[in-house]
Structure formats: C-alpha cells, structure tokens
Structure 1
C-alpha cells in the first residue's frame, strides 16, 4: 500500500547521488547604533544586541557603540545588559543600512541571591537550583493536561549540485518548471519544495496510569508522493515530531539519545557560561550558554533562559552541529518557549508545571559524499487553550491517535479561524501558498510520477493498482536446489477495496520440482479502535525447518534470502487456520487460533511411531498436526498509526514487549499427537546513559510431550556470510533441537563512547558494537528415542538433529564496527563451545567475519 512519506523518502534516495548550490547575489544589511544609560547618558559597554527571532547578535564596544552586519533582518532589535531593563526597538527589515539608538532604564526587579563559591562556574549554581526545582516545574508533575495544537511542516530539497543537474530526473524537472516557479530560501539558495502541510489537533495526557490521546481535527497537505491525509495527519500532526522534554536526562532524536544541557549529567557533557539576565515574556531570566565538551558527542550547543524566581526553564535554543556522531545531519535546531500553567483543579489561580507553547524545529539533511543532495525540513508547533489537572476517564484515552472523519475535507473558513486563534504569524503565508502551487505542478511532471511509483514499490514492497497492492517484490524470484527457479506473484487489498474486508494471497511455481504453491487469506476488521479482526487462511508451500516467518519475527529480507542456494531442511507444508484477534485494553493483544498443518520433508528423515519398540518400531516421515492456541501480547506504551487497513507500530519507547503463547495439539481434532507447548518471548531496548544502548531478546519454550524433532523447537542458525541479529550466527541450520530451552540475544551499541575519544578515528563516526548470544536447552530421553538412524531406502543416511547438554549452554560472542561509510557493519563472531563437527558431518569454524548493511542516523 502506498503510504505518505514512504515514496517521498525513496524519491530522496534516488536523488541522493548528488543538486551545486545555486545562489543569488547576497544583500548585506547593516544596523548601527549607540546604547546609553537613560538617566546619565553614559555609554553601556558590552551590552547584548540581537535580532529578535534570529541567532544573529553582537556586543557594544567600550563606548557603547555597535555594528551588526547580517544577510537577513528581522522586524526588531533587542538590547539587554546586567542591571538594566531589556529593550526592543522596531527596525525596517527592507532597509540596507539604518541606525538605531537605545536608552536603557535601570532594572527594577530584584534577583534571587546566587552564591558563587570560589573557583566555581557561576552557571552551576543556577543549574543546581533548576534541578532542585524540577519537581515543581517539570510537566511530569501534572496529573493530566490537554491543549489545542497547531503544526506546520515544510520539506524541501536544497543544494542542487552541478553533478545532480545531469541526473535525468532533475533535467526533466528543470525543463518542466519555469523561472517563475523558483523558490529561494532566506539564505539565497534555490530549493525544490516537496511537502507543505498544516494540522490542528487536540492533545490529551494522563499521568496515572499513563495514557495519551490525540484527536486530529483538520489537516491540509500538498506533497510529492503524499496522497493520504489521514495517515499524514498522524505522522505530521501534534506532538509526534516535536515532544522533547529537556528536563529529562537524555533527549531522543532520530533514534539517538542526546544529553540534555539541563539534565542530571549536565556537568559531564557541557561547558557553561552565565551570560546575562534578560526578559522573556513576563519573566526575568538568567541566560546560560552551553557547548559540548567534545564536538563528536551526542550533545547540543545553544542557550537556555531560566527564570530567576522559580528557576524554571523558560526558553531554550539548541542546535546539533556537523561534528556530532550522527549520520546524514548537517544541522538541526530545536527552539522551545515554555509557560507556567494554571492548576484548574486547585480552585484558585495556582500555578502548576510548565508546558511548551511554541516549538520550532529545523533540520538540514545530506546524503553520502560532498556532492550529495540536501534535504531541509521545518516544523513549527503552537499550543494553546491549555487545561491542566482535569483528567478524563481512562477509557477516553484508549485510542492514541484519532483522525476526524472530516480531517481531509477542504474548509477555508476553518483555516481562517485557525490563523486568528491558533497559528497567528506561523500560518501559511504567501511564500507557503507559492510552495503549494509549485508542488502541484511538480507532481504533474511525468518523471516525478515515475519516481513516485518506483519509491512506492521500493519502500513498501507493493505496487498499488486501485484497490489492490501487488507484491511484495523481495519474494518475486528465488533460485534453490529444490525448486530451481522459483517465481511468485502476490497481492493484498487496501482500503479502496474495503475498509472491513481484507484479502491476501500469492501463487508460486518452481521450475525444478514443477509444483505450484499458494496462500490465501480473508480477514474481517471489526474495530480499529480496539483492533479486532477475524480471519481464515490456507497455504501450501515449501518451507525450511526453523525458518518460518513466525519463528524469525517477520524479518522479510532474511526470509527471502533463505530461499536461495542449497535448501537444507526443506519440507512441504499444507496449513489451514482460523483465528481471532482483539485488543480489549490498550497494550494487550489477545489471539486465538484453530488449525491444522502437515510436515512432508524433502530431506532424508524418518522417526519412530512407537519408540518403545526401539529398532522394531514402524517408521514414518510425514506428520499431520491439529491444534489450537491462545496468545497474549503485552506492549505497554506502544504507539500505532493507522495506514488504511494496516496498523503500523511506532515502538514502545523502550518498554518491554512480552508475548506468551500456549498451544495444544489434539488427536480429537484429527492430529497424530496430543501435546502441550508453552512459548515466551520478551524484547526491549533501553539506554545506559553515556554508555550507549542495549537491546535484548529473551525467548523460552517448553513442551512436556513426546514428539518427533520437527515438532519440538529447532533453533535458528545462520551459516550464511550475512550478519542477522537475533539468530545464532555460527550455528548451522537446525543443528540443535530442544524440547525445553531459554535463549538470550544481547546487543550493545556504544555509539561514539570510545571511538569519539580516539584521534583520527573519531572523524570517521564509527561506532563500536558488541553482542552475546546464549542458548540453554536439551531433550528428554523419550524425545531422543523417537529419532531413528536407520538408513532410508536406497541406503541414504537420515538427517540427525543434535541435542544440547542441559548443563552447558551454547555460547557466541561478537564485536564489530558499525557505521562504516554510514551503512556498513562488520562483525567478528566467535563460537565458544560445541566445537566438534556438526551432527550431520558439516565442518564447523569457531570464527567468522560477517557483514550487513542498514541505513540509520
């Protein structure tokens, strides 16, 4: 299914090979003036002079004079100095040269006493007091809050290089666009707009139990490869993109954890300078400037303004520079303005925690190489109509993001009201309107339409044709020793077909085995709010022991690659299932399944039907299983987006995801065996402060029943040269099988902790990774007796499944370097034990170097 931003992102990847910055003649503006004491007329030296809304400024000299030379002017100039009241004066943003004088009045506000110890940075005292008052000022102290939110998002391509102009796509775009369509940013660079949107929502938060909800009221959007305003409003509306709380110790940005300049560990990461006091709104604030101790660290440069009375964070400006160990980001700024709130439950006008009322986020992204294309993104958010400490019933928060039925319906009168009441000066202006017109014209270019289609297929795996999506493309072709050339075509329906009925299926054929394979599934979606769905599926296909999509956790690429080459452990499987899923409470998904499946191996294998008879037991190769199962998946704090009939998870913010399943095999349903099976799976990512991030996957299984080896737990090995996490990378396919096991995969990313401190290497932005994989397991004697070692007809030796020693875990350790050329990971893997030849005579090597590729920030 084509989703908003997916094809847009791939279009960027198509272009990220190189558009040289086009500049126009720069206009230079000069503002000069004199700053004096209003009563004495004496000049005020070293006063701060700054453009309001810009990060351009200067200081007065010893005679109180200043000269500010900039490329862009704002509409006013602000001057502040210790002991004086701040003063703003309007200026003409169109005049090239102008003079403005300031006469400052003595400050009438008394500051709280700040005791500075000998040899101590005076900013430290302020920061300690800020952390002490966090319990009073942090928004987390609020029992509940809600507010109206306006968000404007703009995305454009920038830095069009000479090399990129030779790109056929760019040439066709330039031919289609006239000079009147050119848009130049405030720095004089020509940009190519890709997306412009604005959204209005009502955001709700409750602390105990923690619940969130966002009602998307209206969205209007124009963008390349963006059609669905419903999903776009969820991605671009409200607090999804800009919800950073700087009182936290670490700020998550682009999958990385940046140390907060006002967090508990401020002294370890930053250098501080107490610059001055200045007025922010109705508050007299300390201005503290900060810089990272090491430019490569995940830390900010910027300024914070802290109220001199309450020591609350009033405003903060942060930016991430090119030196930070962050891929594809040449610059990123976050600006927040916060205001204290009124406790609606207190009866009187009691102040409560501080909430952000204005947030600006600007990002400049680049590709790989000096000639790469640039991407510029800008997000502006304004919050108003705030109500605090009036929690709603818990059930009210069950739907985390709820788009209005009329979210995409045009209503100009509504947006005029928004401009007056919510957005103000940040609403779509004349330049924004031109941007929307250029995007509309850009989308009509045939080459862009083709790029959208390619992006749709490459990112989603499917090509949309009306109410059907064809794909996914990774499964189209494969070549292996059983099927020869395997071809497959699949489909699924989307919301244009039906918002309740969902159909999926595929047909495959192998040229060597001359056999058709297929799968078909019908689902009915009862509820999106509580995600209730029922379905029936049937399949007949060639699978590989231990590598079904269920066992490998939906890793589509690994599953597709497993169909190439020598097909060890292959078997034909016919499966029929009926199932029902529902989420009665947010974060708890329940699934019930009833089904049958067959196991018909294409490798030499048989087992004893009556193991108590030993070698006299009759033998059989195939298995017929009938079963029912119940499963509970617990994912606290998990966030979802609705993409038509698909539900997309955004993760759980490092809370664990726990899955528990019980399966019962039943002869009463026609199966060969009565058995019980228990499965548990838990995974989580959490941060260890400056030490980096750790991810673990814990899985366990137990069956007290006596069964053939394929019905137990074949462990997932990976003898290929490709590194795949959450597998045993030095174990052969189905080398070990257990009837009880506990497996743990632990991976730690040190980010730039070590390499950022090594001269020469730190400029490469390499990142150290380490992993430990362990497996405890074994088989009872009753299950080992089921296996037979008799030669098959024709004298073929049967496959033997190994068993672990219950007192000795299988162990692997690894270490490697990630982020080589920003995409490559090289990892060394050591197998520490079970070093004899594998049970099937395959030689073992305790050490291997493996590689993988991924795109991440």
Structure 2
C-alpha cells in the first residue's frame, strides 16, 4: 500500500503541536594559525578565514594571527585577502584544537576604483550598479538554458528534549531505538530523522514564450509515511523547493512575498553595510551585509557578495529570523552560489548570464506554543553541465505529468557515480547513511505505523485499502432538519486497482427522512500527458439550491458544512451525465457534457408554466432539465503533479485562471425547456509590494431565455456565523436570483503592514485583512412573471425569489484581524444596501461578526 507525502506532513504536525524544546551540551573546536606573505614573510592583517562549506569564519589581527572557535568542523579551511590568491588547507575534524598556518601568493589583481559621495552609505552605490546591470546578469536575459541537478533533502525532528520524551509517541519511539541510533546535527542538537532523499534531474527553460520542463531521472528515498518515489519525486526532486531568483523584487516563500535585498525597493526595506572586499574563486567581490529596517517585516538578514567589475550577484546568504511575521518558522536560511555562464551558441567565451550552481536551504519550524518541538528541513542542490541559449522545439517542453516507473532506484553503483560527478562535496556523508538506517528502524515501530495511518486519513480524507480508498471523511456525518442524522460512506479506486479505469461511489442514509441516497461514477483515463478522460456519473441525492460545485468553485469544506443545520432550499435531485475532458494544449482544458437532472423542491415553491396567462396559468413545482454544455478552462503556467490517478494543481504563480462555459437546454433531449446559458469565472492572486497581496474572483452569467428561478442564477448567501470567502456573507440563502449578473469578490491581506508598526501589537503577529463583495444583477420582466405568490394547497405561502435592481449593485464590505493564535480570523461584515427586508419576510441586519480557522504560514 502506497502512502504519500501529505501523510508525512500530518505526521510531522502531530508531533509539532503541544510538545517541548531543549538544547543539548556540545563540543567546541578551536583552530589557530598565522597568515603571511609567501615572498616576504610579512604577516597579512585582516585576511578572511572561513570553513569551507559553512559561514563560520573570522579575520586575522594586525599581526596576521587568527583564532576560530566553532561547534562543528568541516574537512577544510580557506583564507582570502585582497591582492592574494585564495588558499585552502585540510582540517582534521576529530581534533578539538589544531594550528594551521597559511602562506599566500600574490595575485596581481587591481581593485576597481569606488567613488563614495559625502553623506551617502557606500553600499548604496554598489546596489544601484547591481540594478543597473541586472539586464546583463539576471538569468531572465537568457533565451534558454538547461542543466543537470542533484538534490538532497533531509527532514528530521529537532530539539527532542527530556520533557518531550515523556510524550507517548516519542516514548515508544525511544524504547525501540538504541543509543547508537542518536544523530547530532552541526549545532549539537539531537535529531530524529523522518525523511532522506536524493534525486537527479535535468531542467529545461525557454523564454518567449516561457516554457519549462524538468525530468526526474532517478531518485531514492527513505522516510516515515513514504514508500515510493512517484509523488515524492515530483515534490522533492529537482528545483521545486529552491528556485528563488534574488534579482526579482519579491521572493515567494511559504506563500508569502519577501522583499529581495537586491530588488528595486532595497532602500525601503533594508539597512546596508559595506563590510569588506574579498576574493571568491576568480571574482573579487564586495561583501554587503543587510538587515530589515523592522524585524517583523517580510525581509531577510544576511550577506551578499557582489562582483566588483560586473556588479553581478556572486553569492548570497539570506536568513529569515523568528521576528518576522511568519507562523511556525523559527529560522530559514537560503544560501546561493552563482556563476557566469558561457553562451553555447558563440564560438568565443562570451559571458551570457549568471545561474545558481549551488543552493542550500535550511528551515527550522516550530509548532503552536512556546514549548513546541522543532522540525528541521534541509535541501541541498548542485547544478552542472549547463547549456545556454539553445532552445528546444516548443513540443519538447510538453512535460510528462508524472515520472516513469523506473525513476526509483537504489543502485549503489549509479549513486556512487552521481556523488563523484554531480554531487561533489554535497554527496552523502556518514550521517546521511546513518539517517537512512534510523529511518528503516523507525518504520518498524507500531506507534509510528499508527501515526502514518492517522495522518493519511486526516490529510487526504481517505483511508487506503489495497486498490480502494475509503472516504472522504468530511462527508461521513451530518445533521440537518430534513435528513436528521445523515451517514455517508464512499470509495474511490486508486492506481493499484487500475491506472486507466477510475471508479467512485457512495451511499447515504438519513435517520429522519429514511431515504437512501447514492452516487456513482466511472472514468477511463486515456492520457495523463494531455489529461484526457471519458466518464459517466449518476446521483440521486438531496441538494441545496445554489450550492452546486460550479457555483461555489469547488469549495468542498463549505459544501460539506452546508449539509448541517436548517436545510433551507433543499430539493431532491436525480442527475445523469456523460462527459469528455481533454487538454490539447498545456493550460487549456476542454470539457463537453451531456446530461439531465430533476428538481423536486422540499420547500414551498411553484412557478407558472404559461406565464403569459398570469394568475390563470397552471402551476408546477418540479422541473426536468436535459442539456449539453461545452467548457474551456484557461490556466497559463499552471503546474500539476500526479497523486495516483488524481491530478493535483500547484497553482499558476499569480496568472489568472479563466473558465468559460456555454450550456444549452434542449426539449429534443427530453427536457422541459429550450434555453441558452453563458457563464464566466476568473480568479487571480497578485502582490502589491509593501501593501500586501490581493486576490479576486470575478463571475458572470447570462441567459436570454425565460425560465423558472431554479434554472437561472441563484446567488450564494451565507447567513451562518462561519466566515466563507467568495460568498455574500450578509445575504440570505436564495434571497436573490438573476438571469444576468456580474459578481466581484476582492480580498486583500495587508500582512503586517499596519500591525508590525504598533508597539505591543506587533509581537502578536496579527494581520489586517479587508474585503469588498459586489453584485450587479437583474431579471427580465418575463422571468419575474414566471414566479407565483399564489398560496399552495393548504394555504402555505410559497418561497419567492427576490430580484436586484440592475442600476444598484448589492454590496458588502468587511475588515478584520487574521492570525489570532496563528489560526483564527475574526471579521466584521457590513451589508451596505438592500436593507428594506427580504422577499420572504426575513428581518435583515446590516452587520455581523464572523469567524473562521485556517493554518497558514
């Protein structure tokens, strides 16, 4: 049975919440020595000393002597100084004290003259040149590039204190482990490894138009709650996690936008200090230190090394501290080394642009509360065999959705070759080998197996049982006024059952209405590359007016919650559909559907079958609709991964997603009405620099036909106390219906723009949010005439659907505080108009205070 990465994430979350931290005693190492001129024997003052592969370093004093005290040693130490060639010497990592002297040879390099204006920070001049030369040095200037990548990923629990060892899960893990299984990191913290992986890939990029492809060629992985390299390789392999370009103005990390220290707005976000000029390889570089002007802002602290001749970014160490307005992140560090590339189309050695050749990412995460357990994630990437400005044919970039079945391999000979060629100094060491052994042992612990199973259900919503997944659990139970206690059991097949045939089904029963409901679907997956599916589905169930997957945009949680409480607008529906989906061009998904559905209301409602006769018309409550539709979904730059037989979107990187649908109701197919219906939906998220991030949802619909209200556009109200975005939170259920409408939902997250500047408040990491929701809609006189207010048999007054004034939009505004206790959002909602009273006599209140809960960084 395969268990995927989301299960691991939940397993980590179980261990993060409500646990404890501690540090452990550690050994220090001392290296001393003397740095002199090889020709004259004179001491060299202020030479830079650093451990290779780490940022631990110092400088020599005026007599050329240095003392370096560190917590961990690497295998070598390097020294550099102006006008001298850099030199590296071996270090004995087993000795606690040792002396290493250096004799440096003259390099004969002349440093470019720097003019400093009076009263100006000397670092500013360098940064202005960096932006001025961006068009020459930034990788975006390249028409195409490709390279081989080696990626190593390690995830472990850190700070496992004595108090934490009393946790039942950790206690059982410790009982199964021996003292020889202990792993200590470079900072001296005891680690409990959970995942270790290596991958080799080839990455391809083409500009104008932008196209990307990444082939995960080989991977090996060991991890708790991870068995295969299918989904894992797509998430952990290649450049998915470490592709930041610091020439961009903002760096997206964990769903947030961090200001780049070399972006256009560097002066607004950072304080700079020109610290030194040192030699890195063949480049003499300015060393510029930077830190945020306000520690709570989404900005970095660290160092950047800028080439003194080209003003290119040669190396950067950027760290996010625990003061930033970011949840669950104690510290995050990104280290990049970049090298100038050579134009592969030129016969001469022409410098084209700078690409990263080495990237290290390290993140320390914490759970909720001050006494939380730590989580350590480290990613190391090395790029080589770079080819520049040789674009491939456009068809080449149509990347396969998932890696081949042969991507996973434990062939030691293969990985030994990789470590000697691609990985270099970042290849597996003794600790890495030991990590894999500890993980193997961990997976045999019964308590770990149980945590894996719980995480699998909690994150995916399904429990895997061979070729079948049972669930989803959000739909398992509900209580409402029509069904009483509703119990639902369902299943879907996975790739173990078939890689082409996909079956889904469910049965539900209500203890109050004593009715059995059911649904089923059969799909055949023709192609994963162009995502081509043919399917049929059938459902006989209780639905709610307006709350269709089309109208709520796939908000499954809101759909599940709509099954609870007073079931207003409920109707019995029997639906049959056949559909065909295909993606002929990447980013364009076409769908054709043929179907029928019934509408049998459980609330008092009827309509005129011949509205031109007025009150003399016959009345009817149920509707039979037969239709066909075509839909186009446009999502530029959208990226997917495959989770078994499901395609999971990773988003579009702020490009809009546009969906257009045309539906035709047909009497010739057996329906009651011939009609035409057009709908449009667009949504996007984009950043506004220091002002935060904005998202919008635009939807519109139009039908020129005369139809009963349920076949028009019932607008989605949400009178519940739970805040739900992209609905009208002060509108009643089915309060308004339109035959033509435009709706806009805009939400803006100011992040810490305001609260980060208020003393006493900024430590709470609160975030200001605001929204505006507007709806323009109307009905024709002909559609209004279809409705009837004539009492039903027995004298019951029927439900009447209201209509909006086309010249007066319905509007709501909201504002509130997000990230209270890191999960709670409280928002005030004001309804600005249409307060005269609902069409069904419901008293209206213009104001409400609503709450929601969500986890985010």
Give the TM-score taking structure 1 as reference length: 0.98
1:226 and 2:223 aligned: no
Q: Distance in 1 between matches of 2:438 and 2:839?
A: 65
Kept in 1: contact 2:401–2:529 (CA 8 A): no
Q: Distance in 2 between matches of 1:588 and 1:469?
A: 29
Q: Distance in 1 between matches of 2:544 and 2:121?
A: 65
Residues 404-439 of structure 1, C-alpha deviations (whole Å, 9 max, x = no match): 331124322221221122112322222212111111
Q: Distance in 1 between matches of 2:380 and 2:178?
A: 29
2:470 aligns with 470
Q: Which runs of 5+ in 1 are unaligned?
A: none
* Deviation of 1:558 (Å): 1.0
- 1:821-832 aligned at under 5 Å gives the runs 821-832=821-832
Kept in 1: contact 2:81–2:279 (CA 8 A): no
* Deviation of 1:135 (Å): 0.9
1:139 aligns with 139
Change (3 A) 1:102 1:417: closer
Kept in 2: contact 1:772–1:812 (CA 8 A): yes
2:31 aligns with 31
* Deviation of 1:299 (Å): 0.8
- 1:68-467 aligned at under 5 Å gives the runs 68-399=68-399, 402-467=402-467
1:519 aligns with 519
* Deviation of 1:114 (Å): 2.1
Out of 541-550 and 272-281, give the one that drifted further. 272-281
Where 2:504 maps in the other structure, the secondary structure is strand
1:567 aligns with 567
Out of 50-59 and 582-591, give the one that drifted further. 50-59
Out of 556-565 and 13-22, give the one that drifted further. 13-22
* Deviation of 1:630 (Å): 0.3
1:835 aligns with 835
Q: Distance in 1 between matches of 2:273 and 2:536?
A: 65
Kept in 2: contact 1:214–1:401 (CA 8 A): no
1:769 aligns with 769
Kept in 2: contact 1:21–1:189 (CA 8 A): no
Q: Distance in 1 between matches of 2:507 and 2:721?
A: 30
* Deviation of 1:20 (Å): 4.8
Kept in 1: contact 2:154–2:378 (CA 8 A): yes
* Deviation of 1:172 (Å): 1.3
Where 2:752 maps in the other structure, the secondary structure is coil
Give the CA RMSD over aligned residues: 1.6
* Deviation of 1:119 (Å): 1.3
2:480 aligns with 480
Where 1:403 maps in the other structure, the secondary structure is coil
* Deviation of 1:548 (Å): 1.8
Kept in 2: contact 1:675–1:705 (CA 8 A): yes
1:704 aligns with 704
Q: Distance in 1 between matches of 2:531 and 2:322?
A: 43
Q: Distance in 2 between matches of 1:92 and 1:433?
A: 21
Kept in 2: contact 1:336–1:358 (CA 8 A): yes
Kept in 1: contact 2:341–2:353 (CA 8 A): yes
Residues 106-129 of structure 1, C-alpha deviations (whole Å, 9 max, x = no match): 552123332211111111111111
Q: Distance in 2 between matches of 1:209 and 1:361?
A: 30
Out of 318-327 and 835-844, give the one that drifted further. 835-844
* Deviation of 1:68 (Å): 2.1
2:618 aligns with 618
Q: Distance in 2 between matches of 1:75 and 1:681?
A: 58
Q: Distance in 1 between matches of 2:426 and 2:611?
A: 77
1:798 and 2:798 aligned: yes
Q: Distance in 1 between matches of 2:80 and 2:443?
A: 49
* Deviation of 1:82 (Å): 4.3
Residues 460-489 of structure 1, C-alpha deviations (whole Å, 9 max, x = no match): 000000000000001111111111111000
Q: Distance in 2 between matches of 1:441 and 1:65?
A: 48
Q: Distance in 2 between matches of 1:200 and 1:87?
A: 31
Out of 284-293 and 41-50, give the one that drifted further. 41-50
1:746 and 2:777 aligned: no
Q: Distance in 2 between matches of 1:460 and 1:2?
A: 13
Q: Distance in 2 between matches of 1:826 and 1:156?
A: 34
Q: Which runs of 5+ in 2 are unaligned?
A: none
Kept in 2: contact 1:161–1:371 (CA 8 A): no
Where 2:625 maps in the other structure, the secondary structure is strand
Where 1:750 maps in the other structure, the secondary structure is strand
Residues 14-43 of structure 1, C-alpha deviations (whole Å, 9 max, x = no match): 212346556554212122233445555554
Give the TM-score taking structure 2 as reference length: 0.98
Residues 85-139 of structure 1, C-alpha deviations (whole Å, 9 max, x = no match): 4443333222212223344455521233322111111111111111111111111
Change (3 A) 1:72 1:204: same
Q: Distance in 2 between matches of 1:321 and 1:168?
A: 31
Q: Distance in 2 between matches of 1:401 and 1:390?
A: 24
Where 1:613 maps in the other structure, the secondary structure is helix
1:55 and 2:55 aligned: yes
Where 1:651 maps in the other structure, the secondary structure is coil
2:788 aligns with 788
1:846 aligns with 846
Kept in 1: contact 2:138–2:353 (CA 8 A): yes
Residues 486-533 of structure 1, C-alpha deviations (whole Å, 9 max, x = no match): 100000000000000000010001111111101000000000000000
2:588 aligns with 588
1:812 and 2:775 aligned: no
Residues 319-358 of structure 1, C-alpha deviations (whole Å, 9 max, x = no match): 1111111110001111111111111122333221111111
* Deviation of 1:626 (Å): 0.3
Kept in 2: contact 1:73–1:93 (CA 8 A): yes
Where 2:58 maps in the other structure, the secondary structure is strand
Out of 9-18 and 355-364, give the one that drifted further. 9-18
Kept in 1: contact 2:71–2:188 (CA 8 A): no
Kept in 2: contact 1:82–1:276 (CA 8 A): no
1:646 aligns with 646
Q: Distance in 2 between matches of 1:65 and 1:357?
A: 33
Out of 348-357 and 748-757, give the one that drifted further. 348-357
Q: Distance in 2 between matches of 1:62 and 1:565?
A: 78
Q: Distance in 1 between matches of 2:809 and 2:85?
A: 71
1:66 aligns with 66
Q: Distance in 1 between matches of 2:371 and 2:843?
A: 47
Out of 74-83 and 169-178, give the one that drifted further. 74-83
Kept in 1: contact 2:344–2:389 (CA 8 A): yes
Where 1:800 maps in the other structure, the secondary structure is coil
1:6 aligns with 6
* Deviation of 1:671 (Å): 0.3
The alignment of Structure 1 onto Structure 2 pairs a total of residues equal to: 857
Kept in 2: contact 1:183–1:190 (CA 8 A): yes
Out of 529-538 and 337-346, give the one that drifted further. 337-346
2:685 aligns with 685
Change (3 A) 1:355 1:786: same
Change (3 A) 1:827 1:22: closer
Residues 540-565 of structure 1, C-alpha deviations (whole Å, 9 max, x = no match): 00000011223211211111111111
Where 2:406 maps in the other structure, the secondary structure is coil
* Deviation of 1:578 (Å): 0.3
1:718 aligns with 718
Where 2:203 maps in the other structure, the secondary structure is strand
Change (3 A) 1:400 1:300: farther
* Deviation of 1:49 (Å): 2.8
Kept in 1: contact 2:730–2:830 (CA 8 A): yes
* Deviation of 1:286 (Å): 1.4
Kept in 1: contact 2:138–2:354 (CA 8 A): yes
- 1:488-567 aligned at under 5 Å gives the runs 488-567=488-567
Kept in 1: contact 2:541–2:572 (CA 8 A): yes
Q: Distance in 2 between matches of 1:513 and 1:23?
A: 59
Out of 386-395 and 459-468, give the one that drifted further. 386-395
